[in-house]
């Protein structure tokens, strides 16, 4: 193999040396391919380990009791009904608040703003995504818990919403940029006012992509614990509808029961973790599989 590769081949320009050098290069190539393959596999092993162990330990705990009963004293039984109902209430409320704000913000960046402000807003959203969620919890605590001297589920929902907004905004904006400008122009040319154009034409075109972003944000919100610790606080009682009071949530339930000395409660923590994992992974798989399918096509 003729080569002009700079590194090797210092000595006699003999075929033998070149082929040794070539062998070395081929060896290095194979070695690095092997290392990087090993690295890729090393990334997947923890995924398998977590899924396997949560499934094994959680199957025993994931039963009807866990889903329907509230916590009982002394680890004598009970379940995660308070937590499941809590999550099922706080997350829809958070989504209800986060989606309009996130989508509208994305619309502004994609449709109305100048280049500089678009960059700035996008940058801000990216940085927001990286803020530790516990600090968001402190932030919401100061405004929605402290003045009322009451931990409440509404504050919990707002904390979750704050975490979801930047994610939704960024993904929506990416989708909106993919919508061809010709669609907009055609709509405007037909005399449709701008707000209608954006809502009915642009957003509708990007709807699937936007939903993807929303679902991913929802999946993230399901698993968030830290911001809820200072806002919704958690509860052993089933709370349906009272957002002015503390409310339990699945991740809080797992956190609290993980450190209990009662094996029954540890078992419930595993069961709840399995439930949470199923929900989160299902959403992620469905959403990503669709976009993968489209990308591969």
Partner 1 sequence: MITPVTKRLVVLGLLAAVGATACSGAATPSPSSAAPSVTAPSDAASSGAPASAPASAVTAPAPASASLTLQGAGATFPAPLYQTWFEAFNGKYSNIQIDYQANGSGAGIKAITEGTVDFGASDAAMKDDEIAKLPAGSKIVHIPTALGAVVIIFNLPGVTDLNLDAANVAGIYLGTIKKWNDPAIAANNGGATLPDKDILVVHRSDGSGTTNAFTTYLDTVSPDWHSKVGKGKEVNWPTGVGAQGNDGVAGGVKQTEGAVGYVELNYATTASLTSAKLKNADGQFVAGSTDGVTAAAEAAASGFPADFRQAPIINGAGATTYPIASYTYLLAYLDQKDADKGKTFVAFAYWALTDGQATETSLGYAPLPAAIQQKSIDELHTFTSGGSPIWP
Partner 2 sequence: MAAPSAAPRRLTSRSGGLPDRLFRSASGLAAIGVTLLIIAIGVMLALNSTEAFGKFGLGFITNTVWDPVAEVFGALPYIVGTLLSSAIALVIAAPIGILTAIFLAELAPRRLSIPLTFLIELLAAIPSVVFGLWGVFVLSPFLGSTVDPFLIRILGWIPIFAGPSYGIGLFSAGIILAIMILPTIVAISREVISSVPDSQREAMAALGATRWEIVRRAVLPFARSGIIGAVILGLGRALGETMAVTMVIGNAQDLPTSIFDQSQTIASKIATTFNEASIGIQTSSLIALGFILLVITIGLNVLARLLVRRVTAGERRT
Rounded to a whole number of angstroms, the minimum distance from the CB of residue 16 to partner 2 is 18
CA distance 222 to 243: 17
149: partner contacted, choices partner 2, partner 1, none (Cβ within 5-8 A by kind): partner 1
Number of residues that bind partner 2 (CB under 8 A): 110
Question: Of residues 249-288, which lie at the interface with partner 2 (CB under 8 A)?
Answer: 251, 254-255, 258-259, 266, 269-270, 273, 276-277, 280-281, 284-285, 288
Return the SS3 of 78: strand
135: partner contacted, choices partner 2, partner 1, none (Cβ within 5-8 A by kind): partner 2
**Choice between 126 and 242, CB closer to partner 2:** 126
Rounded to a whole number of angstroms, the minimum distance from the CB of residue 230 to partner 1 is 12
Rounded to a whole number of angstroms, the minimum distance from the CB of residue 68 to partner 2 is 22
Question: Of residues 8-67, which lie at the interface with partner 2 (CB under 8 A)?
Answer: 25-26, 28-29, 32-33, 35-40, 42-44, 46-47, 49-50, 53-54, 57
CA distance 170 to 167: 5
DSSP H helices, the chain, are 15-59, 64-68, 81-107, 115-129, 133-140, 153-178, 181-189, 194-196, 204-205, 207-223, 226-229, 250-258, 263-296
74: partner contacted, choices partner 2, partner 1, none (Cβ within 5-8 A by kind): partner 1
CA distance 25 to 27: 5
Q: Is 208 in the site for partner 2 (CB under 8 A)?
A: no
Q: Is 245 in the site for partner 2 (CB under 8 A)?
A: no
Rounded to a whole number of angstroms, the minimum distance from the CB of residue 50 to partner 1 is 19
For 162-193, b/e burial (b = at least 16 CB within 10 A) is: bbbbbbbbbbbbbbbeebeeeebeebeeeebe
- Side-chain-side CA neighbours of 195 within 13 Å: the count stands at 1
């Amino acid at each position: 193999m003729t080569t002009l590769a700079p590194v090797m081949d210092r000595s006699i320009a003999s075929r033998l040396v070149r082929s040794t050098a070539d062998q070395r290069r081929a060896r290095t190539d194979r070695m690095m391919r092997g290392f990087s393959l090993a690295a890729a596999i090393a990334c997947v092993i923890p995924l398998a380990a977590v899924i396997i162990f949560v499934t094994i330990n959680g199957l025993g705990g994931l039963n009807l009791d866990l889903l329907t009963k509230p916590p009982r004293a002394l680890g004598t039984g009970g379940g995660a009904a308070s937590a499941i109902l809590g999550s099922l209430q706080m997350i829809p409320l958070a989504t209800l608040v986060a989606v309009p704000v996130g989508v509208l913000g994305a619309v502004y960046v994609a449709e109305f703003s100048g280049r500089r402000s678009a960059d700035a807003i996008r940058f801000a959203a990216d940085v927001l995504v990286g803020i530790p969620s516990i600090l968001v919890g402190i932030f919401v605590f100061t405004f929605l818990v402290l003045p009322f001297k009451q931990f409440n589920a509404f504050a919990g929902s707002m904390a979750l919403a704050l975490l979801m907004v930047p994610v939704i905004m960024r993904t929506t904006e990416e989708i909106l940029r993919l919508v061809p400008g010709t669609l907009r122009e055609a709509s405007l040319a037909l005399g449709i006012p701008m707000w209608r154009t954006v809502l009915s034409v642009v957003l509708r075109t990007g709807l699937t992509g936007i939903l993807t972003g929303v679902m991913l944000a929802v999946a993230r919100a399901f698993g968030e614990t830290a911001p809820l610790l200072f806002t919704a606080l958690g509860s052993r009682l089933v709370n349906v509808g009272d957002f002015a009071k503390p409310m339990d949530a699945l991740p809080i339930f797992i956190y609290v029961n993980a450190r209990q000395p009662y094996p029954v409660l540890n078992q419930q923590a595993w069961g709840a973790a399995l439930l949470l994992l199923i929900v989160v992974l299902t959403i992620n798989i469905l959403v990503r599989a669709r976009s993968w399918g489209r990308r591969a096509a």
